[in-house]
Amino acid sequence: MKQVNNAISNVAKSLANTNPVKNAVSLSDNSKTLWVDYAKDYKGSENTKSMLVDSLFADGVKSYHIVGASDEDKSLVALRNQIIQLVISADKDDAKLYNAEPKTLSLSMQAMQTILKTKTIPTIIGNVKKALATREANVGKEGKAKPKTKEQMAKQALLQFIKYAKESKNCWEGFSKDIEMAQSFSVLKQIK
C-alpha cells in the first residue's frame, strides 16, 4: 500500500511541476487569407473552400476545433472569434453591421444584423467545418476519383456498359458485336 501511495504522490508531484499544455490552435497567414476569400463568395467558391480546408488541415486545425460561441474552452472560442473577424472582414459593410450597437440601427438594419450573426456567418463556418470533417474522414482512404468532365463521364458510362454486358446472363442478338464496338470507341483511349 505504501508503494502505491508513493507512486501516486510521485505522479502528482511531476504533474504539479509541469506547465499546462495549451490548446495551441492557430491559423497560418494563408488560412486567414483563404477565410476572407471564401467569405466573399461562399455560395459559389467551392475551389476556395477546398483550398481553405487543405490549408486548415495543414495548419493542424481539426473540425472539432471549430466550436460554438458557448463552448467552455476559451482558446477554441478565441479561434472562433478570429474566424468570425476574418469572415466579416471580407465585406466592409458586414464588418460595420456586425460590430454596430443594435440600438443605433434601424429596424431593418437590426434584422440584417441578426441574419448576419445567426444565419450567414454560422453557415459559412459550418460549411467549412463539414468539409474539414470530410477531409479528416478521407485521410488514408484511396478510391476512384469522380469524373470531372463530360468526356470522363462518357468514358465511365461506356466502361460500365462493357462490364455489365460481360456479366449479363441473358444475351441479346448482336451481344458480342455491341461489346466489341464499345471496346473500340476512341474515348477509351484518348480520355484519361
The answer to whether the beta carbons of residues 113 and 103 sit under 8 Å apart is no
Q: Domain ranges for the chain, please list them.
A: 29-137, 150-190
Query: What residues contact 114, with CB distance under 8 A and at least 6 apart?
Result: none
Tens-digit pLDDT profile for residues 45-93: 677 888 888 888 888 888 888 887 777 888 888 888 899 998 898 888 8
Percent share of the chain, pLDDT over 90: 12
The answer to whether the beta carbons of residues 35 and 49 sit under 8 Å apart is no
129 vs 179: CA distance, rounded Å: 46
Least confident of 27-31, 135-139, 163-167: 163-167
- For residue 15, the model assigns a pLDDT of 46
- Rounded average pLDDT over 12-30: 58
- For residue 115, the model assigns a pLDDT of 92
Between the CA of residue 28 and those of 42, 49, 93, 111, 169, what are the distances in Å? 20, 15, 25, 34, 58
Query: What residues contact 37, with CB distance under 8 A and at least 6 apart?
Result: 45, 48, 52, 90
- For residue 43, the model assigns a pLDDT of 64
The answer to whether the beta carbons of residues 86 and 56 sit under 8 Å apart is no
